Copies of this chain bind each other. A is one copy, B any other.
Amino acid sequence: MIENHNLHIYNTLSGEKEKFESLNPPMVGMYVCGPTVYSDVHIGNLRTFMSFDLVFRYLKHLGYKVRYVRNITDVGHLESNADTGEDKISKKARLEQLEPMEIVHRYTHDFHQVLESFNNLPPSIEPTATGHLIEQIEITKTLIEKGLAYESEGSVYFDVTKYNQEHNYGELSKRNIEDLMANSRTLDGQDEKRNPQDFALWKKASAEHIMRWPSPWSEGFPGWHLECTVMSTKYLGEQFDIHGGGMDLKFPHHECEIAQAKGAFDQAPVKYWMHANMLTLNGQKMSKSTGNTILPKELFSGDNHFFEKAFHPMVVRFFMLQAHYRSVLDLSNEAMLAAEKGFNRLMLAGKSIENLPISENTSFDLHQWVKLCHEKMDDDFNSPMLIAQLFDMVKYINAILDGSETINQHDHIILKMRWDEFVHQILGLYAVENISGNKALDGAMQLLIEQRDKARANKDWATSDEIRDRLAQYGITLKDGKEGTGYSVE
């Protein structure tokens, strides 16, 4: 199965779509920069993690044995890219008067809850920065020995100028280091650095910084960029297939990862660099300071000022999958309402597949449809195009139901399997009515719908409307369709 695919991935490094060939088939090693657990997971990050959940699922579908490593940054992520400002977790701990690890645990737990409600698969390994301090210290020593890092006032910095003599700092983000250096202002705390572009591998802890460990240079903590280089290469090898993350991490974070790895291991760490694009809200960049921001749980519960109702996580997931991961995606009330309609249409059609009437022949080319579905996903994980293909099949499903198209026994089985593969396993969507406890609801609704049908057959519109209106009060919407009446729950 693996040799048969035609998967092409857009590689930020080359700026082109490249045919995917894993370094050690049938294995694939993928690393994605995870959250810094100092606050509720951001909805833009949720989009990024979902994008790589899609990648993970599709690679597994293709038959690869994928080791997906996604880290937890539980120390060392400073507020400023210039290595100044407070550690985000430290700051939150100080403000809430809690031990930093309590902050870490609370937001790690929240992160897991949100991703699970979003039906993301757990990664293979979820290493923490604090769980790899010794390795980070060892790599820092290596870089110092190789003349690519230096100690200054107890901190250790990576020497970008030195690195750039042999390599190309800026190769990923296509920046020119001379331009970078010319444009850098001299900021506070930059005196320790030989060059403003240099970045911390190890930071000496200030007096208030609770999280600190001994090292050859000072009591301190690791630099954020180094954490990812260490954790990715430890579990995936010094060279691995895919590195993913949000587009905002391209520079300096991912650029630094390349530099650290090339410096320490003398080879490029990553074959395919994948970046997911941003999420905007009502056409504007999301920002806490402007108030143009929303938490995933606020979107799911409806407890916000931007949307007229609550939206189930599956609807939000569907909405996100309708855009290509490399496109900017705008979140708005209208867009979500439309997505919800689309999602319900898709799920309803999926439920109908089980009971399609079987004929002698199939009147359309199912196999061509399956081939097209794969082609769309092979084209850099083009989920919106896959979804369009699924809606094509919705038309066929309805046509089979009304008799204008037919399907035979064999193709019926194929269609069930493929629908399940594409909708549930690859896109990670499931019908909202299928949450546990709803077998009972299906049963009770069946009775009520039968009663309403009986009333309508007797032209007793008052009873029919009363049942509909009473159910609406409980958040249950009846949907009259060609095949009978279904329902959805708010």
Interface residues of A (CB under 8 A from B): 67, 99, 101-102, 104-105, 109, 112, 122-128, 130-135, 138, 213-214, 235, 433, 435-448, 451, 467, 470-471, 473-476, 489-490
CA distance A127 to B72 in the complex (A): 13
* Top-3 shortest CB links A-B: A443-B474, A444-B444, A131-B131
Contacts of A124 in B (CB 8 A): 99, 102, 105
Which residue of chain B is the closest to A134 with respect to CB atoms? B213
Q: Give the docked Cα–Cα distance between A470 and B444 (Å).
A: 9
- Supply 7 further A-B pairs (C-beta < 8 A) apart from A435-B437, A444-B444: A67-B99, A67-B102, A105-B126, A436-B437, A439-B475, A440-B475, A443-B474
Q: Which residues of B contact A436 (CB under 8 A)?
A: 435, 437
A475: B residues at CB distance < 8 A: 439-440, 443
Q: How distant is the Cα of A125 from the Cα of B383 in the complex, in angstroms?
A: 38
Q: Cβ of A476: which chain B residues have Cβ within 8 Å of it? A: 440, 443-444
Where chain A touches its partner, the secondary structure class is helix
Copies of this protein chain in the complex: 2
A446 and B451 alpha carbons, distance in the complex (Å):
15
Chain B residues whose C-beta falls within 8 Å of the C-beta of A214 in the assembled complex: 134, 138
* Closest chain B residue to A488, Cβ basis: B440
A442 nearest CB across to chain B (Å) = 7
- Which residues in B have their C-beta under 8 angstroms from that of A467? 447
In the complex the two chains form, what is the Cα distance from A122 to B105 in whole Å?
9
Cross-chain contact B131 with A134 (CB below 8 angstroms): no
Q: Closest Cβ of chain B: how far from A393's Cβ, in Å?
A: 27
Across the interface, A442 reaches (CB within 8 A) one of B109, B474, B490, namely: B474
A433 contacts across to B, CB distance below 8 A = 437
**Chain B residue with the shortest CB-CB distance to A447:** B470
A109 to chain B: which residues have CB within 8 Å? Answer: 122
Q: Separation in Å of the A126 CB from the closest CB of chain B?
A: 5
Query: How many Å from the CB of A334 to the closest CB on chain B?
Result: 26
Q: A448 vs B214: C-alpha distance in the bound complex, in angstroms? A: 69
**Cβ contacts A to B, 5 pairs, < 8 Å:** A67-B99, A67-B102, A105-B123, A109-B122, A444-B448
For residue A489, which residues in chain B have a CB less than 8 angstroms away from its CB?
A: 437, 440
